[in-house]
Amino acid sequence: MHRFVFFSIFFGLIFLNCEKGHLLTIAVGGAPNELDYWEKLIREFEERTGIKVKLIRQPTDTDQRRQSLIIPLKAKKPDPDVFLMDIAWLGGFAASGWLQALDDYVKRDTFDLTKFFKPVVTSVDIYEGALVALPVYIDCGLLYYRKDLLEKYGCPVPRTWEELLQVATLIQKKERTRNPRFYGFVWQGAQYEGLVCNFLEFITSAGGGLFDSLGNINLCSKTNIHALTFMKDLIHKYKISPPNTYTEMKEEEVRISFQNGDALFERNWPYAWKLHESNDSPVKGKIGVTLLPAFKTGKTASALGGWHIGISAYSDNKEQAWQLVKFILSYESQKRLAIDLGWNPGREDVYEDPELKHNLPHINVLKESFNHAVARPNVPYYTRLSQILQIYVNAAISGRMGPEEALKKAEEKMREIIHTYE
């Protein structure tokens, strides 16, 4: 009897340990080709470490991905152990206590944080003094332009918004004789998160911002009003941006317009480059990429985006989870994600890789943009602040409300939300 109990416990422990190896899970979303690639990457990790990993496939839609993580985290479920997070979620996830602090792992393994973009880690991945995530993929706003048309009309690549306006007005007028649908500048103005990113870039490049130096909300400043007025005037006064900017223009609508040859300048994320350079693209070989312009009194700014990796505070497999995180953030994995998927590495040192420079000729522009990146507020109530900004900034650029009135009302609403969390 005792021998039976002993062997039952012995084999039971073996079974649990085997099962434990199968319980390491990572949640990743995206397009089908991205998920297939993650399967391949994870199989390689398994072969190297002997650790079994299950990939939890999430939807492509960002909101659905967020919700599919919130449900198990709220319930304090052990799975997923590891997951990717949109940059805008981090503050809320960290404030909820859902993210495992990584400081002890980093210190123990002498994991070199200096290999990552310091402004990104500092502004996004550290919450209340603790390191809770690290960047896998970094995004930022860029200015795409038709280099063939700039050369044709003898115009320079603009460094300021004022220069962009001048060049776009000139070339739009000339190109309209052959293409009535041609516009000087297309950007994201529909009422969604992308509009907030564009708004942040405009106000920051004018010397403004959402908060003052003391951290107090300061939305209705003269600088911000000037920048928002300029955004509105691009559509209604100067007419170099299409009327559907504030109703329809999101990333893909903007990309398609530019890629079809219907625009001179385009504000978009780095993902658009590969599509613009595809074999069936009408603008293949005709485009350039540069930093977003600044106002004469300001400096360039790019809204920071991307996906960060973290470990669940409720994971029952944290040690192996950390091993997977390290593998995904390794130089080799980051380089492969860049070359094979077009993902911009979270590691700064990868940008000096000769093969990467060959595959991504605008890599130096990306690197410089990340060092000029402006992060959205890393606060648990950011989603609510964003919803307010989306409504009132869109009202201003559509002409339904004056820029000053819109910002004043938005500031009042945002103050109410902030006060409920104080």
Check residues 369 and 177 and name the one with the higher pLDDT: 177
Q: Do 167 and 245 sit in the same domain of this protein?
A: yes
Q: What is the pLDDT averaged over residues 57-75? A: 92
pLDDT of residue 62: 81
Q: Do 147 and 276 sit in the same domain of this protein?
A: yes
Q: What is the pLDDT averaged over residues 221-242? A: 98
Q: Do 252 and 346 sit in the same domain of this protein?
A: no
- What's 293's DSSP letter? P
Q: Examine the pLDDT at 15 and tell me if it is beyond 50.
A: no
pLDDT of residue 166: 98
pLDDT of residue 14: 37
What's the residue count for the chain?
A: 422
Q: Do 385 and 348 sit in the same domain of this protein?
A: no
CA distance 64 to 404: 34
Whole domain around residue 120: which residue ranges?
2-139+305-374
Q: How many domains does the chain have?
A: 2
Least confident of 9-23, 80-94, 207-221, 337-351: 9-23
| Percent of the residues in the chain that have a pLDDT greater than 70, as a whole number | 95
CA distance 278 to 283: 9
3-state DSSP assignment of residue 58: coil
Q: Examine the pLDDT at 360 and tell me if it is beyond 90.
A: no
Q: Do 175 and 260 sit in the same domain of this protein?
A: yes
pLDDT of residue 422: 72
pLDDT tens track for 270-326: 889 989 999 999 999 999 999 999 999 899 999 999 999 999 999 999 999 999 999
Least confident of 123-132, 163-172, 258-267: 123-132
Q: Do 331 and 256 sit in the same domain of this protein?
A: no
Amino acid at 88: A
Q: Do 205 and 347 sit in the same domain of this protein?
A: no
pLDDT of residue 41: 96
CATH number at residue 298: 3.40.190.10
pLDDT tens track for 256-275: 999 999 999 999 998 899 89
Q: Do 77 and 131 sit in the same domain of this protein?
A: yes
Q: What is the pLDDT averaged over residues 42-71? A: 93
Q: Do 204 and 91 sit in the same domain of this protein?
A: no
The torsion angles phi and psi of 162, rounded to 5 degrees, stand at -65, -40
What pairing do the DSSP bridges indicate for beta strands 287-290 and 142-146? antiparallel
Contact 163, 156 (CB under 8 A): yes
pLDDT of residue 30: 85
Q: Examine the pLDDT at 98 and tell me if it is beyond 60.
A: yes
- What's 210's DSSP letter? S
CA distance 93 to 98: 6
Q: For the chain, what is the mean pLDDT?
A: 91
Q: Examine the pLDDT at 330 and tell me if it is beyond 90.
A: yes
pLDDT of residue 8: 39
Q: What is the pLDDT averaged over residues 327-341? A: 93
Q: Examine the pLDDT at 1 and tell me if it is beyond 50.
A: no
| Percent of the residues in the chain that have a pLDDT greater than 90, as a whole number | 77
Q: How many CA atoms lie within 13 A of 139 on its CB side?
A: 20
Q: Do 287 and 264 sit in the same domain of this protein?
A: yes
Q: Do 321 and 296 sit in the same domain of this protein?
A: no
- Among the candidates 374, 394, 410, a domain finishes at 374
Q: Do 296 and 149 sit in the same domain of this protein?
A: yes
Residue among 193, 139, 209 at smallest CA distance from 386? 193
pLDDT of residue 229: 98
H or E segment and range at residue 304: strand 302-311
Core vs surface per residue 235-258: b (16+ CB within 10 A) or e: beebebbbeebbeebebebbbebb
Q: What is the pLDDT averaged over residues 389-418? A: 97
CA distance 100 to 328: 17
- Among the candidates 335, 358, 374, a domain finishes at 374
Q: Examine the pLDDT at 21 and tell me if it is beyond 80.
A: no
Q: What pTM value is reported for the model?
A: 0.84
